[in-house]
DNA sequence: CTTGGAATGTCAACGCTGCTGACATAAAGT
DNA sequence: ACTTTATGTCAGCAGCGTTGACATTCCAAG
């Protein structure tokens, strides 16, 4: 309910409750747009967002282990396992027993898996590209900056490490 | 796979595939942070994100009708109804039959509902405020600009209308 | 070498929240 | 008055989170 603030002699109009609430709602609505296009593609395959995320990060780090994926995705291994099982059964993901440690499973996309990843990525990238283009380079820098500041500490480190 | 582009004689380095992929992953990780704090509070109440969203927008527009909420939330009335039922039973939301049109239900938060809304809002706003503060005013403008461009057309209009 | 514990991954069952379908009630048009 | 349309409710299914129980493998202590 505070409409204006001054702190250290500096006017911080962009931190009013109204501005923050707008930011929250923008985040909510934008995320809907962000997932809308991939969702339509996934529906045709009978998959959901969890499959998208798995396919995305397996493509990103081919040969990654289940345990690594868990950290990145932030879900339980049981939850991820269900998704991986269908992807493996459907021939989109290849699961290979580790050579050094045979408890581990190393995951890779098959050609079929890469095709889906490409379709999803193209759709999502297209929207992002249009948004970036219309907003302009400076806005994109600010966008990325705020998003990074909004992440949990451990995720930000992870995000920056894999740059 | 295109690392650089030139278009209309203008260098658009911020639209490389790598940059766009970074944007996508930033969005994914940031949204996790965005929902993390409210999620912890909701858990104590035995509620989920759907309850948060309902409570948020009922607080935003007291007396709103179920049908209006559906548009904003982008879910089916059956899905929303389940959430509203629990909120009404638990005494967080008041549902009143419309006077002009008695098919309609007008929704309002009770004191108890406002208390939960405040707790959720405080938590989510705190993170947003910190992120905004660290990123600075210019970044916030860019952040908001890109998010708006990422929304579906109808949601963007809705978002701008309720400013 | 054996054994006990820790790590990795799988199977089962439960809950939240999307969805479609069927339906009751109220309003509106013919 | 009757049909059509709009609003909201109830029931049941699917996706994807969760915890619990368990098999396999590795490794370290004895």
Question: What are the tens digits of pLDDT across the range A80-103?
Answer: 999 999 999 999 999 999 999 999
Phi–psi pair at B11, nearest 5 degrees: -80, 130
Do B125 and A17 make contact, defined as CB atoms within 8 angstroms? yes
The domain A46-134 having CATH identifier 3.40.640.10: the answer here is no
pLDDT at site A5: 46
| B6-20, B69-83, B123-137, range with the lowest pLDDT | B6-20
CATH number given to B14-161 = 1.10.10.10
How confident is the model over A132-159, as a mean pLDDT? 96
CA distance A143 to B138: 10
Banded model confidence at residue A140, pLDDT cuts 50, 70, 90: very high
B15 alpha-carbon distance from chain centroid: 27
Nucleotide D11 C1' to residue A121 CA (A): 38
Confirm or reject contact between B26 and chain A (CB < 8 A).
yes
pLDDT at site B31: 97
In A58-117, the residues whose Cβ lies within 8 Å of chain B are 74
CA distance A161 to B16: 19
Q: Which of B8, B21, B22, B23 to mutate to test the interface with A (most CBs of A within 10 A)?
A: B23
Banded model confidence at residue B6, pLDDT cuts 50, 70, 90: very low
Strand partners, A93: A109
Do A142 and B142 make contact, defined as CB atoms within 8 angstroms? yes
pLDDT digits (tens, 9 = 90+) for B23-37: 999 999 999 999 999
Nucleotide nearest A67, CA–C1', reads C8
Number of Cβ within a 10 Å radius of residue B12: 16
pLDDT digits (tens, 9 = 90+) for B105-139: 999 999 999 999 999 999 999 999 999 999 999 99
How confident is the model over A54-68, as a mean pLDDT? 96
How confident is the model over A107-119, as a mean pLDDT? 97
pLDDT digits (tens, 9 = 90+) for A1-56: 544 444 454 678 888 999 999 999 999 999 999 999 999 999 999 999 999 999 99
Which of B17, B33, B74 shows the shortest C-beta gap to A150?
B33
Contacts of B124 in chain A (CB under 8 A): 24
Contacts of A17 in chain B (CB under 8 A): 125
In B28-67, the residues whose Cβ lies within 8 Å of chain A are 28-34, 36, 53
What share of chain B in percent tops pLDDT 70?
Answer: 93
Is the pLDDT at B13 greater than 90, yes or no? no
Task: Say which residues have a Cβ less than 8 Å from residue B19's Cβ, sequence separation at least 6.
Answer: A132, A140, B13
How confident is the model over A58-80, as a mean pLDDT? 95
CA distance A17 to A14: 9
CB A13 within 8 A of CB A4: yes
How confident is the model over B91-99, as a mean pLDDT? 95
Contacts of A121 in chain B (CB under 8 A): 21
What share of chain A in percent tops pLDDT 90?
Answer: 88
Q: Which two tokens stand for residue B16?
A: 């490389």
Domain boundaries, chain A: 46-134
Do B139 and A142 make contact, defined as CB atoms within 8 angstroms? yes
Nucleotide C10 C1' to residue B139 CA (A): 46
Is the pLDDT at B39 greater than 60, yes or no? yes
Do B152 and A33 make contact, defined as CB atoms within 8 angstroms? yes
């Amino acid at each position: 309910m505070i409409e204006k603030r001054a702190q250290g002699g500096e006017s911080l109009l962009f931190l009013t409750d109204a501005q923050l609430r707008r930011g929250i709602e923008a985040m909510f609505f934008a995320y809907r747009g962000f997932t809308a296009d991939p969702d339509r593609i996934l529906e045709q395959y009978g998959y959901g967002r969890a499959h998208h995320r798995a396919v995305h990060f397996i493509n990103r780090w081919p040969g990654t282990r289940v345990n690594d994926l868990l950290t990145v995705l932030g879900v339980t291994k049981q939850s991820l396992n269900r998704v991986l099982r269908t992807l493996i059964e459907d021939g989109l993901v290849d699961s290979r027993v580790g050579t050094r440690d045979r408890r581990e499973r190393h995951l890779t996309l098959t050609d079929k898996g890469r095709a889906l990843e490409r379709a999803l990525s193209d759709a999502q990238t297209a929207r992002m590209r249009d948004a970036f283009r219309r907003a302009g380079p400076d806005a994109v820098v600010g966008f990325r900056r705020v998003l990074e500041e909004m992440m949990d500490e451990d995720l930000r480190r992870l995000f920056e490490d894999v740059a």
